[in-house]
């Protein structure tokens, strides 16, 4: 267990511990010391999304790193995957993303990448945390780190996105609506699409520091759906605030999630004989996704929820393609982390080369109905009783292999998430409620 780090870095409400300026100062100092202790380059790349508080945290991290004798490269507003890419190409020891992803503007946080552009190892993360408890000791004045802004950061990442698809690919003739969530991709995503030849309609591209994710982006796709229908566009894409997730909309205005995107990508890679192994999903990937891959003979494995767990399983399996229904898709042959722009471009490549629209391409997969109940529990939750386990086993047996049940205590709030999937909506609703009742009886006992 860690004191500060959650499933994806450190995150919380601005002004409340640990998301404060003084903590960011100590965090930067601790990272600088940890890099030196491990013989890693004393250089850190810092990027951020469009939250107003990003200015404050950028300055605090910069001061902390410099006080530890570490140099800094400032990228300004950039997508999370861009920071991973530039950390690697600039040969930095680590990268920091100041972002709270899809959360509202009053939240913020810190995500980290190693010099290879991957999430920090558990050991490095633990060592970094331990140094946060130490007093801040300045290096000698002559050794204070220097900070520089990377003027061409956006251009470097745009070229990286374009190189992720064949040089012969053009999006000419394709009308794309792109929703940037008033976030980190507000300049980059429209430019990438435009330079590849698409007709672009951009929405959610007017950040003011406080409107990130508000009514736009992958967590609020209704604006995108309406714009695609209104303009008669061929498809739409909705990124989240930091650009590592994306959802798509077809020409009928129907939403495609990460499972459906992965299915289209995996099927095409299999046809082109470039699918290395299988696909990694998570405990929350739709059962219909697993069934559809099975029908194609494509191996499928489930990791714990969180992109770092998907990444770890891809490495362990020697596979390249994985992700989550939320639209966090990892293509290890192209990137080291989830990248909304790169993932969308691969699907657009399938659209252009096949001559089919997204509506047709998604037909080979049927999403199973899903019920998710958040059942309040007394913290700390000690796990299900024997009776609740018996109820879960009985409900699972009743699905007869045509569905599944996930019983998962939340890592962030005192609830148990009961997820039931199956072919019949009425049946799975009854099963979910039966399990929820068992949990409620536990609390009452």
C-alpha–C-alpha distance, residues 98 and 78, integer Å: 10
C-alpha–C-alpha distance, residues 59 and 48, integer Å: 12
Which value, to the nearest 10 degrees, does the dihedral of the CA atoms of residues 93, 98, 99, 104 take? 170
C-alpha–C-alpha distance, residues 77 and 157, integer Å: 12
101 assigned to active site: yes
- Surface-to-core class of residue 210, CB atoms within 10 Å of its CB (0-12 exposed, 13-18 middle, 19+ buried): middle
What are the angstrom distances between the C-alpha of 221 and each of 162, 225, 248, 426?
25, 6, 9, 27
Any long-range contacts for 351-356 (C-beta under 8 Å, 24+ apart)?
351/174, 351/234, 351/235, 352/169, 352/170, 352/171, 352/174, 353/169, 354/268
Phi, psi of 199 (to 5 degrees): -85, 120
C-alpha–C-alpha distance, residues 254 and 256, integer Å: 7
Show the beta-strand stretches assigned E in 103-213.
Answer: 107-114, 147-149, 175-179, 199-203
C-alpha–C-alpha distance, residues 80 and 218, integer Å: 15
Which of these, 254, 259, 244, lies nearest to 222 by C-alpha position?
254
Pair 264, 272: CB distance under 8 Å: no
Please identify which of the residues 67, 101, 114, 218 carries the catalytic annotation: 101
DSSP letter for 4, please: S
Query: 371 - beta bridge partners?
Result: 420
DSSP letter for 9, please: B
Instruction: Report the half-sphere exposure of 126 (CA within 13 A, side-chain side).
Output: 4
Q: Which residues are catalytic?
A: 101
């Amino acid at each position: 267990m860690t004191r500060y780090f959650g499933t994806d870095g450190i995150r919380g409400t601005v002004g409340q511990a640990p998301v404060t300026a003084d903590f960011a100062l100590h965090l930067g100092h601790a990272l600088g010391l940890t890099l030196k202790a491990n013989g890693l380059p004393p250089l850190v790349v810092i990027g951020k999304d469009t939250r107003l508080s990003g200015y404050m945290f950028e300055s605090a991290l910069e001061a902390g790193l410099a006080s530890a004798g570490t140099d800094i490269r400032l990228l300004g507003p950039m997508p999370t995957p861009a920071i991973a890419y530039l950390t690697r190409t600039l040969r930095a020891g680590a990268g920091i993303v100041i972002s709270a992803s899809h959360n509202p503007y009053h939240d913020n946080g810190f995500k980290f990448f190693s010099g290879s552009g991957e999430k920090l190892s558990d050991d490095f993360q633990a060592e970094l945390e331990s140094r946060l408890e130490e007093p801040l000791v300045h290096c000698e004045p002559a050794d204070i780190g220097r900070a520089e802004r990377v003027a061409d950061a956006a251009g470097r990442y745009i070229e990286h996105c374009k190189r992720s698809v064949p040089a012969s690919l053009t999006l000419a003739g394709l009308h794309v609506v792109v929703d940037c969530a008033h976030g980190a991709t507000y300049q980059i995503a429209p430019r990438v699409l435009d330079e590849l030849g698409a007709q672009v309609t951009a929405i959610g591209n007017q950040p003011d520091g406080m409107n990130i994710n508000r009514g736009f982006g992958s967590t609020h796709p209704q604006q995108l759906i309406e714009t695609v229908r209104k303009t008669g566009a061929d498809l739409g894409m909705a990124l989240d605030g930091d650009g590592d997730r994306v959802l798509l909309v077809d020409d009928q205005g129907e939403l495609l999630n990460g499972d459906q995107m992965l299915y289209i990508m995996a099927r095409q890679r299999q046809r082109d004989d470039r699918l290395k192994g299988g696909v990694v999903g998570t405990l929350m990937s739709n059962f219909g996704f697993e069934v559809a891959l099975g029908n194609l003979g494509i191996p499928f494995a489930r990791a714990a929820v969180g992109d770092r767990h998907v990444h770890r399983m891809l490495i362990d399996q020697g596979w390249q393609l994985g992700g989550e229904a939320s639209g966090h898709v990892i293509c290890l042959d192209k990137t080291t982390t989830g990248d909304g722009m790169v993932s969308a471009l691969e699907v657009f490549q399938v659209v252009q080369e096949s001559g089919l629209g997204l509506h047709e391409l998604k037909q080979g997969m049927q999403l199973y109905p899903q019920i998710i109940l958040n059942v309040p529990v007394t913290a700390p939750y000690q796990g299900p009783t024997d009776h609740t386990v018996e109820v879960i086993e009985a409900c699972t047996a009743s699905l007869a292999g045509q569905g599944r049940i996930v019983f998962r205590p939340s890592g962030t709030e005192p609830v148990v998430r009961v997820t039931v999937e199956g072919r019949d909506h009425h049946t799975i609703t009854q099963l979910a409620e039966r399990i929820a009742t068992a949990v409620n009886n536990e609390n009452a006992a």
